């Protein structure tokens, strides 16, 4: 692994990533940020389209492939398969980002992988899962498909217009987080027992699990969620006197009491009895609250309103842009935005720091996004292959290496 010293709680853990944007590489980068040795196994015949290219900068992939090494090898060729088999034997976890059953079609079923490495944790991330109706299992999926099929998209947007996908790519990121949860839980058990596990993450199921109240409300009452249907006053986005937007969430007995105090609304009263948790829209209490809130916000800048509400214990925040975040003292104090050295030159790239933060075994950004195949020789040498063998594999198209981040 060159000059890169071990770090983080996952040092000594090796993860193989057979995946393209976004869920799989994101999950792998989170593991890499915590110290795992992540090896991205890439296809010489099919470049990840989310990587930087002549038409797009690929900034998301620049972050989601940091802290990884790249081996670009055709695992379906006999020579590539021999190298991949050796690599699997050294790994703790494999993350697969293809449609359901694809690895098995390549002769890499769970059972085959466990013959190579009985303790291997295999994490499958797909649109529809590894089991179920075969026609669904084999379907391709992207982020928007996961949102649409799960019912999540139907809840987003405005009531008088077609539903909208949430942005950015929540289905991919939710699935990535579920892969992390399942993968790390399985790894903990595998290290204790020596027996591997197969984790099946479907995008649409990740979205359903994160639909909380709304899916539960339907299943138990038959009530479908309505788009843009906030039930209480004092909840939503408001424009302040300086034209800047502020998001306010006045829910809960204590919060509503505090908001009444800020706005000068008598409390307790007939409209706002002791313990009221929200001012339901359509009631006199809601009309009073909205009228007083409009006057309060209209006479103040968003920052002034935010500070006054926050000081009173009312959850409120200006609707930030990234530029506002960059200038914000709390962002700066926590070092939210950072930079790291590129893997392909002496320059640096700016991005988001390691999240979550650990005190005793912190993660770090040790490597920038590798170019495709950048670590071919390094990894194959670790597996015992000779320079002569790798040279022949380049000539046969089994290996590929790109000279720069854009190919």
Residues annotated as catalytic are 172
Question: Which is it for strands 121-126 and 93-96: parallel, antiparallel or unpaired?
Answer: parallel
Distance of CA 261 to the CA centre of its chain: 39
One-character DSSP codes across 27-94: HHHHHHHTT-EEEEEE-TTS--TTS--SS---HHHHHHTTTEEEEEB-TTSHHHHHHHHHHHHH-SEE
User: What would the two tokens of residue 118 be?
Assistant: 């009985």
User: What would the two tokens of residue 226 be?
Assistant: 């309505």
Q: How far apart are CA 210 and CA 137, in angstroms?
A: 21
Question: Which is it for strands 245-249 and 235-239: parallel, antiparallel or unpaired?
Answer: antiparallel
User: What would the two tokens of residue 35 be?
Assistant: 């110290």
Under 8 Å CB-to-CB from 361, ≥6 apart: which residues? 7, 8, 9, 35
Q: Is the separation of the CB atoms in 397 and 391 below 8 Å?
A: no
Contacts 24+ apart (CB under 8 A), 342-348: 342/368, 342/369, 342/405, 343/367, 343/368, 343/369, 343/370, 343/371, 343/374, 344/368, 344/370, 344/371, 344/374, 344/404, 344/405
Query: Alpha helix locations (H) across 194-334?
Result: 203-209, 212-221, 253-263, 284-298, 302-311, 322-327, 329-334
């Amino acid at each position: 692994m060159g000059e890169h010293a071990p770090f983080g709680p996952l040092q000594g853990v090796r993860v193989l990533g057979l995946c393209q944007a976004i869920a799989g590489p994101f999950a792998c980068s989170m593991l890499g940020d915590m110290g795992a040795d992540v090896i991205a196994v890439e296809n010489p015949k099919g470049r990840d389209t989310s990587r930087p290219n002549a038409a797009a900068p690929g900034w998301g992939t620049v972050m989601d492939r940091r802290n990884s090494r790249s081996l670009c090898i055709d695992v379906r060729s006999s020579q590539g398969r021999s190298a991949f088999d050796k690599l699997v034997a050294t790994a703790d976890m494999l993350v697969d980002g293809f449609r359901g059953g694809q690895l098995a079609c390549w002769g890499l079923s769970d059972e085959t992988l466990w013959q190579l490495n009985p303790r291997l944790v295999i994490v499958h991330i797909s649109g529809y899962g590894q089991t179920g109706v075969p026609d669904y299992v084999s379907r391709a999926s992207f982020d928007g498909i996961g949102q649409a099929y799960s019912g999540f998209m139907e809840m987003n947007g405005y009531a008088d217009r077609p539903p909208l996908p949430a942005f950015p790519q929540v289905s991919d990121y939710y699935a990535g987080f579920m892969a992390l949860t399942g993968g790390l839980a399985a790894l903990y058990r595998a290290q204790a027992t020596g027996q591997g596990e197969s984790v099946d993450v479907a995008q649409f199921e990740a979205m359903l699990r994160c639909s909380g109240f709304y899916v539960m409300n339907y299943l138990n009452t038959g009530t479908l969620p309505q788009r843009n249907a906030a039930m209480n006053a004092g909840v939503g986005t408001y424009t302040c006197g300086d034209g800047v937007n502020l998001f306010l969430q006045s829910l809960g007995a204590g919060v509503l009491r505090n908001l009444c105090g800020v706005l000068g609304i008598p409390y307790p009263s007939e409209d706002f009895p002791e313990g009221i948790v929200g001012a339901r829209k359509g009631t006199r209490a809601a009309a009073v609250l909205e009228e007083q809130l409009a006057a309060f916000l209209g006479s103040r800048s968003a920052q002034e309103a935010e500070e006054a509400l926050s000081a009173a214990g009312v959850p409120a925040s200006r609707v930030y842009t990234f530029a506002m975040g960059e200038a914000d003292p709390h962002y700066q104090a926590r070092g939210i935005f950072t930079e790291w050295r590129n893997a392909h030159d002496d320059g640096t790239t700016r991005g988001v720091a390691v999240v979550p933060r650990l005190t005793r075994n912190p993660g770090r950004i040790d490597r920038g996004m590798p170019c495709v195949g950048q670590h071919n020789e390094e990894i194959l040498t670790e597996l015992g292959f000779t320079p002569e063998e790798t040279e022949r594999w380049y000539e046969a198209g089994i290996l590929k290496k790109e000279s720069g981040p854009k190919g």
